[in-house]
Amino acid sequence: MSLNSPIGLRREDKNPWERRVPIIPEHAAGLIKDHGIEILVQKSDLRAITAEEYVRAGAKITEDLSACDTIFAVKEIPIRLLQKGKTYIFFSHTIKGQSHNMPLLRKLMELGCQLIDYEKMVDEKGRRLVFFGKYAGLAGMIDTFWALGRRLDYEKTSNPFDTIKRALDYPSLEAAELALAEAGKKIAAGALNGALAPLVIGFTGYGHVSQGAQMILRQFPVEEIKPEELPALFQDPKRAAAKNRIFKVVFREEDMVEPVSPGQPFELQDYYQHPEKYRSRFDKYIPYLTVLVNGIYWEAKYPRLVTNKYLKELYTKTPQPRLRAIGDISCDVDGAIECNVKSMDIGNPVFVYEPLTGVVKDGCEGTGPVILAVDNLPAELPRESSREFSSALLPFVPEIAKADMSVSFSDCRLSDPIKKAMIVYQGKLTPGYRYLEKFLKE
């Protein structure tokens, strides 16, 4: 392995909507000038950033990246294209033992490669350092408003959201926000249909995804309330009839779950360490919500927020509950939002789940909530999301590019965030990821 070999930026080809890049031309120019790193950029007809922009930055455009010992990408690289001994950096979607990507992990090991996963680049407190999460929230919230408008059109309910488009259909985030602001002006003037009042949007979590989604609400007149204030809102005749604002509520862990044992207090760290001791109490809030935006990380050990059983009970009692749309930005299929039964793509992002029958219909028509379920939402804002991602990744690039991967893992002089994110080293699972062995054998 040459410590002076160029680094490669691979083209994305997982789907036709993936137009992001891990390193933007501006940052590539700095790496070339300040660190003497040669950069080869693979040809692509999809990329939101043109080849000419990379050439102006000093990078070289090529089809063949075989000269690069280190290759950066965004999404998974097809197994057939993996090469012996390379260092690959991308979102591998393997850390939960995802069955569909175990063949990818096996091949990386067989070829004696290194695999660094952006998702596991964290600081000493476990906080992610390199991520697209905020842009998932931004795009997801725009798309959720688009879905809400289409759903209400289907119901023949006049609404100020019917002119909102998908994030994909705007030339920039700025253009999207201007369009949303126009809808916000209509609401501020009292244009909200009385049948929708009070319009309540609930957000689960407070991380980067949720923060990004909440940023979109800056374009609307909003009154924020606490979860425990929801019943009082509906009991107040004046506020409950409000046509000039949206009510926003953010749910934290203590709002969403409770100890199974009566009388026990909620303790955040205890919940994360022993989730089996807790159960969901989110059902109590669902009848108040018009829109639910889910932005929490979820694993099977945690309680679900929305269960199919509860939705069936709700729709049995009330033929048309308030809940119109669920923006499942986290997009864990059969996860926190159990009725998210499949991942959609950016071109066809929503489906309706019918609670009484379990039937799923693509689009916004049907009896049940519209579910937004797309796992690569930041790709709808490719230039903006790539810039922020590249800014976060940039400090680590010279270190990765110049690292000696021929020494033992314990002697490899990499900073903690990179070593924590190294899933495979010289074809072997690193100590922190040996738990994946059981998934590789299945």
Cβ-in-10-Å burial (0-12, 13-18, 19+) of 94 comes to buried
pLDDT band at residue 94 under the 50/70/90 scheme:
very high
| Averaged pLDDT score across all residues of the chain | 95
Q: What's the pLDDT tens digit per position in 224-257?
A: 999 999 999 999 999 999 999 999 999 999 999 9
- Over 70: is that where the pLDDT of 2 sits? no
For the chain, the residue count is 442
Dig out the tokens for 277 from the structure.
């001791």
Residues 161, 343, 149: CA angle, nearest 5 degrees: 10
Q: What's the pLDDT tens digit per position in 26-72?
A: 999 999 999 999 999 999 999 999 999 999 999 999 999 999 999 99
Element (H, E) at 203: strand 200-204
Rounded Cα distance between 126 and 77, Å, is: 26
Rounded Cα distance between 59 and 57, Å, is: 6
Contact in structure between 145 and 164 (CB atoms under 8 Å): yes
Q: How many of the other CB atoms lie within 10 Å of CB of 32?
A: 17
Q: What is residue 114's predicted lDDT score, i.e. its pLDDT?
A: 98
pLDDT band at residue 319 under the 50/70/90 scheme:
confident
Rounded Cα distance between 388 and 173, Å, is: 13
Q: What is residue 268's predicted lDDT score, i.e. its pLDDT?
A: 95
pLDDT band at residue 3 under the 50/70/90 scheme:
low
Domains, the chain, ranges and CATH? 7-130+383-441 (3.40.50.720), 133-380 (3.40.50.720)
Cβ-in-10-Å burial (0-12, 13-18, 19+) of 308 comes to middle
Q: pTM for this one?
A: 0.91
Average pLDDT of 136-162? 97
Q: What is residue 297's predicted lDDT score, i.e. its pLDDT?
A: 85
- Over 70: is that where the pLDDT of 439 sits? yes
Strands (E), 325-437: 325-328, 350-354, 359-362, 370-372, 422-425, 428-429
Average pLDDT of 102-109? 97
- Over 80: is that where the pLDDT of 4 sits? no
- Over 50: is that where the pLDDT of 1 sits? no
Contact in structure between 179 and 165 (CB atoms under 8 Å): yes
Rounded Cα distance between 270 and 248, Å, is: 28
